[in-house]
A and B are shown apart, each in its own frame.
Chain A
Amino acid sequence: MTKGRGAGGESAPEFVQLLTPDGERIDKVTGADGVEYTVDFTDDEYRGLYRDLVVVRKLDAEATALQRQGELGIWASLLGQEAAQVGSGRALRQQDMAFPTYREHGVLYCRGIDPIMPLSLFRGVDHGAWDPNQFRFNMYTIVIGAQTLHATGYAMGITKDGKVGNDDGEAVIAYFGDGASAQGDVNEAFIWASVFNAPIVFFCQNNQYAISEPIEKQTRVPLYQRASGFGFPGVRVDGNDVLASYAVTRAALDHARHGQGPTLIEAYTYRMGAHTTTDDPTRYRMAGEVESWQARDPIARVRAFIAKQQIAGDDFFTEVDELARRESLALRERVLAMPDPDPLTIFEHVYPHGSPLIDSQRQGFAEYMDSFEGSSH
């Protein structure tokens, strides 16, 4: 338990941890929810997790670079949150459905989705269009917390479809942050999920900051403890520990798919970078704080563990770095090749059944464009 009144601060939080920052494996641990957590990975799976973490971080760094070079309008970096995202993302089963914020690039990658997909949103080419049901991954939602209600409604639909109650049942994961925990929509989602016993996992990445505001501005109790007031279990996990993040999420999803209702997971982590590329974190936090979290890096501990356990050698680490380099280069080339949309697409897809008002505005705009000499329209 944290000391003092706040949920953050200097006191070490009690959480589920299966891999220490030094790469020491903890066999099993019981969470605040009374559940015993462990993982049973093969060497190949450990290597796979490491590969995901490294690639996800490298792709993120590439996107930040693209923004700095003017190729993206903005980028929301996940730096520091790789373990929470890869762990929870890998815990999803094929039939599960995820509702992300705009920062879940790591979860998206783990769902097997082409990492180029959200880049059009950040480049300003479109609003991040894809079919949520095809990818089992909803579109990025920018309004803080709004997607937790969508996720809850979707989960209610799963129950209506009779797709809960066994191993093949479906579950939903709703991602949000510590800032969103203050939103009315998130609290309403908790109520709906609880009252309708919806098969959903609320996965809160507490990265300690809502842009500039520290967690103390959002809550006086540890966030995972909020769950008890809504009538379902809450658990805090070391969000920089990919093994624990996986174990806790997998258990909560299975709990949900078996018809046992929602869980709140608070993944205790840290946003190492800026909120987005428009932000300047040096205005509101000390370098020393960032350094202390550097020592808890989510990737370094997996590498230390793999090396210590001789799960892989130096060749493997070099291979992974090379893979990450190739994937990020490919991403860069595809971002640069993204064409600007046709101006007339402004008028497309406003309504499934169309609108005479928009038809006439489209026509007027097309005629206006055509009025310019040499226009291609």
Chain B
Amino acid sequence: MAEKLTIGKALNLGLRRALEADPKVLIMGEDVGKLGGVFRITDGLQKDFGEERVIDTPLAESGIIGTAVGLAIRGYRPVCEIQFDGFVYPAYDQIVSQVAKMHYRSQGRVKMPMVIRIPFGGGIGAVEHHSESPEAYFAHTAGLKVVSCATPEDAYVMIQQAVASDDPIVFLEPKRRYYEKGDVEVDADLAGAYPLHASRVARPGTDVTVLAYGPMVRTALDAANAASADGRELEVIDLRTLSPLDLDPVFESVRRTGRCVVVHEAPSNVGLGAELAARITEQCFYSLEAPVLRVTGYDTPYPAARLEEEFLPDLDRVLDAVDRTFGW
């Protein structure tokens, strides 16, 4: 049965299903209990599953991830909430040096079936440290997988798939899209769901391939609608999985369109767009009519809220890049 849910509610319901499915699943984080998290993603879960499973932790991110490592060694499956993107750095050492490496260090004997949920990206008018896009740090780290959802349906399914996976997964939630609604098949069987580590064509098209993930999928789709009115059909691919990347659908698309634009909020320098451009160039060199172009945040710290509209990629900047691919 399809229900109209926001991304936030879909995540909440997905977490509830995960807690029901496996008694070893725990939720840990700051304010995740009575408050339901600052974005209410864990709303009502402590009430229904108890303080032993939905744990309000002390305010220390390294402690959240470090104790989750120990709980995972003990056989638990912690789902850790980091309150905001800019607050993940105190946990960075535990994530990179311990979570990511434990399976390798133990030659497969110790698994870290952990999900690290991070609301990421800008667009909410926040103060410093609340609007960042740290995905490249994690995608660069062997041993971690990184995914991002863009729709309520994906939010509901992907969070359950991430919790069920034995891989440690950084789960990036597009915080400014938490309140966008869409249909969610709440009774669908996970076994038949679209795979977690797979990209997906969000809108078919013939003229330019536009790659996006998380909050920028909506922006890319808006740009595609506008371009369509001008007679250009953009193919929008929602990457969904940032590490490992799933690029076969991308290569297939670029070989058809000959043009590609990558969109992300994170700065361009050594970002995911650079990796995508390199891989596409290696695989689609003879099909390309123009270089792969990037539309990204600038290589500055995230600016003050009243400047973020200028900083963030938007419909016009995407269309401008699309135009430029026809200028070669």
Taking beta carbons and an 8 Å cutoff, which residues of A are in contact with B? 99, 126-134, 138-139, 141, 143, 146, 148-158, 160-161, 184-185, 188-189, 191-192, 195, 348-353, 355-358
Q: Flag whether B74 is at the interface (Cβ < 8 A).
A: yes
Q: A157-B71, A192-B67 are known; give 7 further A-B pairs, CB within 8 A.
A: A127-B101, A127-B105, A152-B66, A188-B62, A349-B106, A349-B107, A352-B113
Check B97 against A143 for contact (C-beta < 8 Å). yes
Residue of B nearest to A131 (CB): B109
6 interchain residue pairs of minimum CB distance: A153-B70, A149-B66, A157-B74, A153-B67, A188-B63, A154-B70
- CB neighbours (8 Å) of B107 from chain A are 126, 129, 348-349
Which listed residue (B69, B108, B111, B143) contacts A149, Cβ 8 A?
Answer: B69
Q: Flag whether B250 is at the interface (Cβ < 8 A).
A: no
Which listed residue (B70, B108, B167, B244) contacts A157, Cβ 8 A?
Answer: B70
Check B69 against A131 for contact (C-beta < 8 Å). no
- CB neighbours (8 Å) of B62 from chain A are 149, 184-185, 188
Which listed residue (B66, B68, B73, B245) contacts A185, Cβ 8 A?
Answer: B66
Interface string of B226-268 (1 = CB under 8 A from A): 0000000000000000011110000000000000000000000
Which listed residue (A132, A138, A153, A348) contacts B68, Cβ 8 A?
Answer: A153
Residue of A nearest to B68 (CB): A153
Residue of B nearest to A356 (CB): B244
Interface string of B56-70 (1 = CB under 8 A from A): 011010110111111
Closest chain-B Cβ to A37's Cβ sits at a distance in Å of: 29
- CB neighbours (8 Å) of A99 from chain B are 70
- CB neighbours (8 Å) of A350 from chain B are 103-104, 142-143
Residue of A nearest to B100 (CB): A350
Check A146 against B76 for contact (C-beta < 8 Å). no
Bound together, the chains give a CA A130 to CA B108 distance in angstroms of 9
- CB neighbours (8 Å) of A134 from chain B are 109
Check A156 against B166 for contact (C-beta < 8 Å). no
Bound together, the chains give a CA A164 to CA B103 distance in angstroms of 28
Check A357 against B71 for contact (C-beta < 8 Å). no
- CB neighbours (8 Å) of B109 from chain A are 129-132, 134
Check A149 against B94 for contact (C-beta < 8 Å). yes
Check A146 against B66 for contact (C-beta < 8 Å). yes
Q: Flag whether B130 is at the interface (Cβ < 8 A).
A: no
Q: Flag whether B287 is at the interface (Cβ < 8 A).
A: no
Check B244 against A191 for contact (C-beta < 8 Å). no
Closest chain-A Cβ to B81's Cβ sits at a distance in Å of: 16
- CB neighbours (8 Å) of A195 from chain B are 58
Check A132 against B73 for contact (C-beta < 8 Å). yes
Bound together, the chains give a CA A191 to CA B167 distance in angstroms of 28
Bound together, the chains give a CA A250 to CA B166 distance in angstroms of 36
Q: Flag whether B187 is at the interface (Cβ < 8 A).
A: no
Closest chain-A Cβ to B111's Cβ sits at a distance in Å of: 5
Closest chain-B Cβ to A361's Cβ sits at a distance in Å of: 10
Given contacts A188-B58, A352-B166, A352-B167, is CB(A150)–CB(B70) below 8 Å?
Answer: yes
- CB neighbours (8 Å) of B166 from chain A are 352-353
**Mind listing 13 A-B residue pairs with CB under 8 Å?**
A99-B70, A129-B107, A130-B106, A131-B110, A143-B97, A146-B93, A146-B97, A149-B67, A154-B73, A191-B60, A352-B165, A358-B142, A358-B244
Bound together, the chains give a CA A357 to CA B144 distance in angstroms of 13
Residue of B nearest to A360 (CB): B244
Check B103 against A188 for contact (C-beta < 8 Å). no
Taking beta carbons and an 8 Å cutoff, which residues of B are in contact with A? 52, 57-58, 60, 62-63, 65-76, 90, 93-94, 97-98, 101, 103-111, 113, 142-143, 145, 165-167, 243-246
Which listed residue (B67, B76, B106, B108) contacts A139, Cβ 8 A?
Answer: B106
Given contacts A139-B105, A157-B75, is CB(A150)–CB(B66) below 8 Å?
Answer: yes
Check B76 against A152 for contact (C-beta < 8 Å). no
Check A349 against B108 for contact (C-beta < 8 Å). yes
Bound together, the chains give a CA A195 to CA B73 distance in angstroms of 21
- CB neighbours (8 Å) of B52 from chain A are 160
Check A133 against B73 for contact (C-beta < 8 Å). yes
Bound together, the chains give a CA A146 to CA B62 distance in angstroms of 9
Bound together, the chains give a CA A172 to CA B87 distance in angstroms of 30
Greatest chain B CB density within 10 A among A99, A191, A358 is at A191
- CB neighbours (8 Å) of B76 from chain A are 157, 160
Bound together, the chains give a CA A134 to CA B165 distance in angstroms of 23
Given contacts A129-B105, A146-B66, A146-B94, is CB(A191)–CB(B58) below 8 Å?
Answer: yes
Closest chain-A Cβ to B283's Cβ sits at a distance in Å of: 11
Which listed residue (B70, B94, B167) contacts A151, Cβ 8 A?
Answer: B70
Residue of B nearest to A142 (CB): B97
- CB neighbours (8 Å) of B104 from chain A are 127, 349-350
Bound together, the chains give a CA A149 to CA B90 distance in angstroms of 14
Residue of A nearest to B111 (CB): A352
Check B73 against A138 for contact (C-beta < 8 Å). yes
Check A189 against B63 for contact (C-beta < 8 Å). yes
- CB neighbours (8 Å) of A353 from chain B are 165-167
- CB neighbours (8 Å) of B167 from chain A are 351-353
Residue of B nearest to A352 (CB): B166
Bound together, the chains give a CA A151 to CA B68 distance in angstroms of 10
Closest chain-A Cβ to B147's Cβ sits at a distance in Å of: 13
Bound together, the chains give a CA A149 to CA B66 distance in angstroms of 5
Check B145 against A129 for contact (C-beta < 8 Å). no
Bound together, the chains give a CA A133 to CA B219 distance in angstroms of 48
